[in-house]
Amino acid sequence: MEIKLGFGSVPKPQYVFVSREADHCWYMLSEQEQHIPIYDKALTGIITKIECNKTVETKFGKREKTDLHVLAEQPYIIRSGRDSYFSKSLLLSLDIITNEQLHQPLTIAVSPGDKKVVFCTIYNPITYQEIKITWNEHNEIDLQSLEQKISQRINQIQKPESTTNHELRRIIMAQTDTYLKQLDWNPEQGRRYLEQKYGKRSRRELNDQELIDFTMAIFEILCTQENRFVMSNLAG
């Protein structure tokens, strides 16, 4: 992500809260604690961490929350009630996602239910495929066991100490290779893009943050290309 010099906002993750309202299902808070509605229904990024059964002090007292950390154009933390439909559907979706998918961008979408209910659905942003879950007998979910299982798997996969920095860069480079192949870019196109954006001719010259930024940028270009392809087919 681009670093802007000079005055600006404090560089910290942006919290996103889940709530079923008349025309939106999640929101942010201003510095004055005022609700800022988010009318978009989906957030696409890489899941980096999850915190389950987290005790948080609120104006209503202590509450148990689920915090999902997502890296997009900036870091986000999606906070939802631990026992909410959103949290349960999120955990059920993450339970069937593969480790390979967890290394790739995913789309987390909200959908309104009855009254104050909000459901979570996860999609593959390239194929548009939904991660389908079995919602039957959701009241009988062993929530604590499911939380422990998901937390251990996600946090271990994304944990920096679990592998070397070289290995992390190898994984990111491999993912970028996949996107570049899908874009049908040749090496010269890639070098030209790197020179224009970073003043460098090779991905190996990028630092860790630049490499992540480059991967996300290529992914966004690919999504735009895929969207145009779908729209052209619909128009045809």
What is the value of pTM for the model shown?
Answer: 0.70
Residue 37's pLDDT is 96
* Domain residue extents for the chain: 14-161, 163-235
- What is the full per-residue pLDDT of the chain (236 aa) written as tens digits? 455 667 777 778 899 999 999 999 999 998 888 999 999 999 998 898 899 999 998 888 899 999 999 988 778 999 999 999 999 999 999 999 988 888 888 999 999 988 889 999 999 988 889 999 987 766 778 999 999 999 998 887 655 444 445 666 777 788 788 888 888 888 888 889 999 988 998 888 888 778 888 888 887 787 776 555 544 554 44
Tell me the sheet residues that pair with 77: 15, 69
Q: Structure tokens of 2?
A: 């681009």
Q: Is 4 exposed, middle or buried (0-12, 13-18, 19+ CB in 10 A)?
A: exposed
Q: Structure tokens of 189?
A: 């196109």
Amino acid at 181: K
Residue 231's pLDDT is 45
Residue 81's pLDDT is 95
Residue 235's pLDDT is 47
Report DSSP letters for 13-51, one per residue. Answer: PEEEEE---SS-SEEEE-TT--EEEE---EEEEEEEEEE
* Edge-first strand listing for the sheet containing 42-58: 35-38, 26-29, 14-18, 75-81, 61-71, 42-58, 106-112, 118-123
Residue 59's pLDDT is 81
Q: Structure tokens of 49?
A: 């961490």
